[in-house]
Amino acid sequence: MATVLDSITEGVREDLAGRKAAVSLRDLEEQIAAAPPALDAHAALAGGRSDPAGVRIISEVKRKSPSKGDLAEIPDPAVLARAYQAGGASVISVLTEARRFSGSLADLQAVRAAVEIPVLRKDFMVDPYQFYEARAYGADLVLLIVAALDDAQLRDYLALTQELGMHALVEAHTVEEIERAVALGAQIVGVNVRNLKTLEVDVTHYAAMAQHLPEHVVRIAESGVEGPETVRDYAAQGADAVLVGEALVRNGEPELAVKEFRAASRAQTPAKETM
């Protein structure tokens, strides 16, 4: 039975065929050669567990989602990205998938030109061509979804990402996927509390999975953030960084929201009262 993830990746492949016909790999390689090197996303995200300033925040430019529909118009992603940076975001995530998220490579390019911090191309990476696109349009970091890739693909895509000077946020949802990611050399591992096969969200899932993340990887908590309390809880469970989309794009003051999220992550979880 086909899952939501299967349906999305099918559409991604269809759209990719059109872009391949329009822009050759050689053209992308020439763009990459003329561009400045990628920023160090690993350094930007590492150490959030022990940082007295709070966990790192990956702030997302996200217009739409399959589960919630339209989230925000975002007429100028560069303006939003600058607000995120001013609020203290460590990385800006940009959705580039068009059908389900209304994103584009133009959004990625606009954000890259607007900020001085690393930028994540958040998409469903299923073909080597997409990695050249990502670097050509300014990405410093790409998303690799373990559930969408076999071991050979994941290994090859990690190597290609490194070859192009970028880092990879390797996204897992189960213990088995975490183990696969780590065994194949992932340095930045995200646990998505939204199951991409069903779109169900369970914020307690991060705590269940976090104990399986080794100390040497950068730990990212993804999805499910409704407010500062969620960020605080993820921080208490050992996250180095938290990826936030909907709660920021729907907030009328994104700069202030990022500051609040970081501040909240420093707060201690209140002790439960005992009888």
Choose among 42, 52, 46: nearest CA to 265: 52
Residues annotated as part of the active site? 60, 62, 122, 171, 192, 222-223
Choose among 214, 181, 194, 212: nearest CA to 60: 194
DSSP β-ladder status, 56-61 and 141-145: unpaired
Looking at residue 257, its amino acid is A
Record the tokens describing residue 119, joined without a space. 């930028």
The span from the CA of 86 to the CA of 6, in Å, is 37
The span from the CA of 261 to the CA of 89, in Å, is 10
Looking at residue 197, its amino acid is K
Tokens 């584009």 belong to which residue? 104
The span from the CA of 166 to the CA of 141, in Å, is 5
Residue pair 270/85 in contact (Cβ under 8 Å)? The answer is no
Q: Kindly report the CA angle at 46 between 179 and 86, in degrees rounded to 5?
A: 130
The span from the CA of 10 to the CA of 3, in Å, is 11
